């Protein structure tokens, strides 16, 4: 590694302009800290991916002036349910019980691309030139005074320097790989299909909530209602190839299992995703910090990946602001400890349990789970705690309490 001591240290370099990188960037810029955000793609990512924002995440995004805009662009779901599709037996959870603890007692259904687009616009307005598209980080290095990134911008390789670096570059993180960190875990044997359709299912299926997990005969599926779409998700058969899984006839056949004799349905998006559960060995190496999917991956069941990543971004940015102002840099070790704990002790465990529960095929076990949920709902204290857990409120508090 070359000597970096004479390089410009006066900024934080953030690799990746996904939800996590952009939220961290905005928080830092608001505190007067210069940032540069490098994004490999040519524009904000247009993939819908996440749709669930949990209450504490929207509360945090309010602090950046983004919460209200996302509520406008999305659809709040006060209730969500588990339901036996054929019989209609169900357990409905009502997030209103959290209304004294959050300004947003609902699961906001809003595609993550809206967060990315709005945050990118805001960042550009507040620090013009801070966000560089078509900028692919290739290699990173550091010494005790600073960091450097070799980056290809519009096809030309150059080197940028800074004081700290945040790797928010997603599941295949170049930053994580260059730090040589292990990313242990597993890839689940079945992938997931996520479909977006504007078809008005609510006019045909009685008693839909904004968020629905259905157990149906031989399969299970979820239905989430955003502002102008239904997001339908399910696992295709494990032996089905990727092209066949998102072919129009296969998707129409699946949707016809939900509503026969209505199609063809208009399909706006259909993607197949592998599902992983992985955790980086540590989230800080010297002046480099990892956040979001670059550090941890989990099943989307329960909607925790982006939410947990946004919680990382706030925790990290707030500590980095103190360190920038002269605070002890061991605060960044505390960031790493707190958010590693949240990922391993809460997010991965709960999303894994959700993943398995939703894919349960045995009718008896499904009924047992449904009965247990109904009992929880009938117990005021139990349902309150359950909803705090499933909306990551407890997770945030437990992680922040670690010293």
Among 20, 33, 122, 321, binds ligand FAD (CB under 6 A): 20
| Phi, psi for residue 31 in degrees, rounded to 5 | -90, 10
Q: Which is nearer to ligand FAD, 282 or 367 (CB)?
A: 282
Q: Measured between alpha carbons, how far is residue 222 from residues 73, 202, 396 in Å?
A: 21, 14, 26
Rg (CA), the chain: 22
Among 105, 162, 196, 303, binds ligand FAD (CB under 6 A): 303
Q: How far is the CB of 330 from ligand FAD (least distance, A)?
A: 25
- 92 backbone φψ class: left, alpha, beta (φ>0; ψ -120 to 50): beta
Q: Which stretch binds ligand FAD (CB under 6 A): 2-10, 214-222, 242-250, 303-311?
A: 303-311
The residue among 307, 316, 309, 348 whose CA lies nearest residue 335 is: 316
One-character DSSP codes across 32-88? T--EEEE-SSSSS-------EE-HHHHHHHHHTT-HHHHHHHSEEESEEEEEETTT-
Which residue blocks in 128-235 are alpha helix, DSSP H? 174-178
Confirm or reject binding of residue 111 to ligand FAD (CB under 6 A).
no
Q: Which residue has the tokens 């959050």?
A: 102
What does the alpha-carbon distance between residue 297 and residue 111 come to, in Å, rounded to a whole number?
18
Per the listing, tokens 């359709």 go with 197
Q: Please report whether residue 222 would count as binding ligand FAD according to CB under 6 A.
A: no
Place of tokens 């103190």: 322
Q: Of the listed pieces 181-189, 291-299, 326-334, 363-371, which binds ligand FAD according to CB under 6 A?
A: 291-299
- Report if residue 279 touches ligand FAD, rule: CB under 6 A: no
Q: Give the contacts of 19 (CB within 8 A, at least 6 positions apart).
A: 50, 112, 115, 116, 119, 292, 306, 309, 310, 313
Contact between 283 and ligand FAD per CB under 6 A: no
Smallest gap from residue 131 Cβ to ligand FAD (A): 11
Residue 356 C-beta: closest distance to ligand FAD, Å: 17
Min dist CB 378 to ligand FAD, Å, is 28
Nearer to ligand FAD, 171 or 367 (CB): 171
Query: Any contact of residue 118 with ligand FAD (CB under 6 A)?
Result: no
Q: Binding segment for ligand FAD among 93-101, 120-128, 248-256, 287-295 (CB under 6 A)? A: 287-295
Distance from C-alpha of 112 to C-alpha of 308, rounded to nearest angstrom: 13
Distance of CA 181 to the CA centre of its chain: 21
The two three-digit tokens of residue 305, written as one number: 């990946």
Cβ partners under 8 Å of residue 398, min gap 6: 341, 342, 345, 346
The binding track of 122-161 with respect to ligand FAD, each residue x by CB under 6 A or -, is: --------------xx------------------------
Output the smallest distance, CB 365 to ligand FAD, in A. 25
Q: Which of 105, 292, 339, 347 binds ligand FAD (CB under 6 A)?
A: 292
- Which listed residue (7, 17, 71, 147) binds ligand FAD by CB under 6 A? 17
Question: Which region among 120-128, 289-297, 325-333, 395-403 touches ligand FAD (by CB under 6 A)?
Answer: 289-297
Q: Considering the rule CB under 6 A, would residue 162 count as an interface residue with ligand FAD?
A: no
Considering the rule CB under 6 A, would residue 210 count as an interface residue with ligand FAD? no
Site residues (CB under 6 A) for ligand FAD, limited to 32-61: 38-41, 45, 49-52
Residue 307 to residue 67: CA distance in whole angstroms? 13
Q: Which residue is nearest to ligand FAD (CB)?
A: 18
For the record, the structure tokens of 34 come out as 């210069």
Is residue 222 within a helix (H) or strand (E), and if so which, with residue range? Answer: strand 219-225
**Which residues in 337-366 contact ligand FAD (CB under 6 A)?**
none
> In the set 309, 315, 324, 351, which binds ligand FAD (CB under 6 A)?
309
Tell me which residues touch ligand FAD (CB under 6 A): 15-21, 38-41, 45, 49-52, 112, 136-137, 168-170, 174, 194, 273, 292-294, 300, 303-307, 309
């Amino acid at each position: 590694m070359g000597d970096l001591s004479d390089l410009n240290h006066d900024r934080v370099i953030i690799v990746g302009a996904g939800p996590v990188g952009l939220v961290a960037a905005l928080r830092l810029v608001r505190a007067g800290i210069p940032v540069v955000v490098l994004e490999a793609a040519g524009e904000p990512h247009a993939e819908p991916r996440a749709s669930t924002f949990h209450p504490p995440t929207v509360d945090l995004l309010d602090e950046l002036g983004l919460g209200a805009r996302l509520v406008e662009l999305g659809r709040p779901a006060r209730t969500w349910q588990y339901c036996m599709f054929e019989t209609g037996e169900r357990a409905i959870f009502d997030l209103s019980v959290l209304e004294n603890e959050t300004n947003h007692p609902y699961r906001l259904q809003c595609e993550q691309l809206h967060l990315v687009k709005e945050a990118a616009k805001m960042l550009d307005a507040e620090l013009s030139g801070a966000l560089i598209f078509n900028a692919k980080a290739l290699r990173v290095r550091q010494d005790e005074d600073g960091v450097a990134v070799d980056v290809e911008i519009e096809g030309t390789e150059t080197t940028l320097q800074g004081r700290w670096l945040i790797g928010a570059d997603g599941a295949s993180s170049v930053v994580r790989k260059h730090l040589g960190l292990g990313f242990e875990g597993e890839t689940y044997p079945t992938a997931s299909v996520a479909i977006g359709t504007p078809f008005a299912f609510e006019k045909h299926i009685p008693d839909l909530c904004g968020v629905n997990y259905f157990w149906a005969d031989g399969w299970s599926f979820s239905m989430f209602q955003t502002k102008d779409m239904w997001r339908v998700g399910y696992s295709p058969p494990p032996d089905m190839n990727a092209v066949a899984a998102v072919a129009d006839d296969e998707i129409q056949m699946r949707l016809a299992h939900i509503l026969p004799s209505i199609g063809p349905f208009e399909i706006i998006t259909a993607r197949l995703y592998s599902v992983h559960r992985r955790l980086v060995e540590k989230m800080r190496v010297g002046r480099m910090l990892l956040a979001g999917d670059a550090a941890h991956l989990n099943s989307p069941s329960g909607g925790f990946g982006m939410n947990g990543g946004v919680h990382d971004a706030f925790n990290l940015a707030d500590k980095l602001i103190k360190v920038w102002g002269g605070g002890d840099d061991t605060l960044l070790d505390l960031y790493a400890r707190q958010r590693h704990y949240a990922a391993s002790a809460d997010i991965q465990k709960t999303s894994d349990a959700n993943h398995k529960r939703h894919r349960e095929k045995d009718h008896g076990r499904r009924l047992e789970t449904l009965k247990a949920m109904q009992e929880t709902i009938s117990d005021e204290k139990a349902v309150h705690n359950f909803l705090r857990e499933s909306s990551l409120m407890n997770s945030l508090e437990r992680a922040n309490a670690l010293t």
